[in-house]
Amino acid sequence: MFKIISLNVRGLGTDDKVDWVRELGVTEDPIVFGLQETKLKEVDEKFVRRLWNEDDLGFAQVNTIGSSGGLITMLNASIFTGIHAVGEVDFLAVVGKWNDVEGSFVGSSVDDFLNLTGIGSTKLRFYWQAVIWTSLYLIWKARNNKFFQVKQMLAANLVFEIQLAFFFWVSHRCNSFEYSWIDWCNGSAFLI
């Protein structure tokens, strides 16, 4: 199984913060490590190597404009090879290919993604599909509200909305789901 980390670092201007991010990468060993709010006007490979815990580094970045923003996505290039990156203020996408995946892989569905993770349990696949689709829908909705209705949503509120929507979605569609909202919020439901 692989890990993807996405983290708001609230600035990477100090050695302590850089060391903390690097230590987190060493401890968690993610394949993809996304950093938001770096607040760095310029980022080069030398700097990114201070953040990454392995030799196999791929990365893309969007520099800060003004006093906020800045994105860095670091990739374990021995597992995922970035081919093309697209970025602008508050947005960075990396297109690439998974190494050592037989045949050609086009991530056209959530099921394709779950096949890569090795999750075989039907029950776990059901839950992960719900997490992914619920998250994607609500993130897209929040993005559209921000751009088209000028309604800003705090990240904590978005996470709560995803948690709530996922709870209701799974509790109403899965007969064997027997967790209360309190158990769900306390994390007990994730011991499934």
Which tens digit of pLDDT belongs to each residue from 125-181? Answer: 777 777 777 787 788 788 777 777 777 778 788 888 887 887 887 777 777 777 777
In this prediction, residue 104 carries a pLDDT of 44
> Residue 178 and residue 182: Cα distance in Å, rounded?
12
Q: How many CB atoms lie within 10 A of CB 60?
A: 22
The residue that leads in pLDDT, 158 or 114, is 158
Domain of 27?
A: 4-101
Report the pLDDT averaged over residues 122-126: 74
Tokens representing 46 are 């030398």
Task: Name the nearest CA neighbour of 155 among 41, 18, 36.
Answer: 36
Instruction: Give the pLDDT band (50/70/90) at residue 191.
Output: very low
**Do β-strands 4-8 and 91-98 pair in parallel, antiparallel, or remain unpaired?**
unpaired
In this prediction, residue 156 carries a pLDDT of 80
Instruction: Give the pLDDT band (50/70/90) at residue 192.
Output: very low
The number of residues in the chain equals 192
> Residue 43 and residue 48: Cα distance in Å, rounded?
7
Report if residue 113 sits inside a domain: no
Q: Note whether 74 and 158 are same-domain residues.
A: no
Local structure of 51: helix, strand or coil: helix
6, 135, 165 from 130: Cα distances, Å: 19, 8, 10
Instruction: Give the pLDDT band (50/70/90) at residue 105.
Output: very low
In order, the DSSP letters of 70-132 are -EEEEEETTTEEEEEEEEETTEEEEEEEETT-SS-----SHHHHHHHHT---HHHHHHHHHHH
Report the pLDDT averaged over residues 93-115: 64
| Number of folded domains that form the chain | 2
Q: What is the pTM of this model?
A: 0.55
In this prediction, residue 111 carries a pLDDT of 67
Q: Note whether 57 and 24 are same-domain residues.
A: yes
> Residue 128 and residue 132: Cα distance in Å, rounded?
6
Q: What is the CATH number of the domain that holds 19?
A: 3.60.10.10
In this prediction, residue 97 carries a pLDDT of 77
Q: What is the mean pLDDT of the chain?
A: 79
1-60 per-position pLDDT tens digit: 578 888 889 899 899 999 999 999 999 888 889 898 899 988 899 999 999 978 888 898
The amino acid at 85 = A
Domain termination site, one of 66, 101, 136: 101
Report if residue 111 sits inside a domain: no
> Residue 126 and residue 107: Cα distance in Å, rounded?
18
Q: Note whether 86 and 137 are same-domain residues.
A: no
Q: Note whether 94 and 130 are same-domain residues.
A: no
- pLDDT at 110 > cutoff 70: no
Q: Note whether 83 and 165 are same-domain residues.
A: no
In this prediction, residue 163 carries a pLDDT of 79
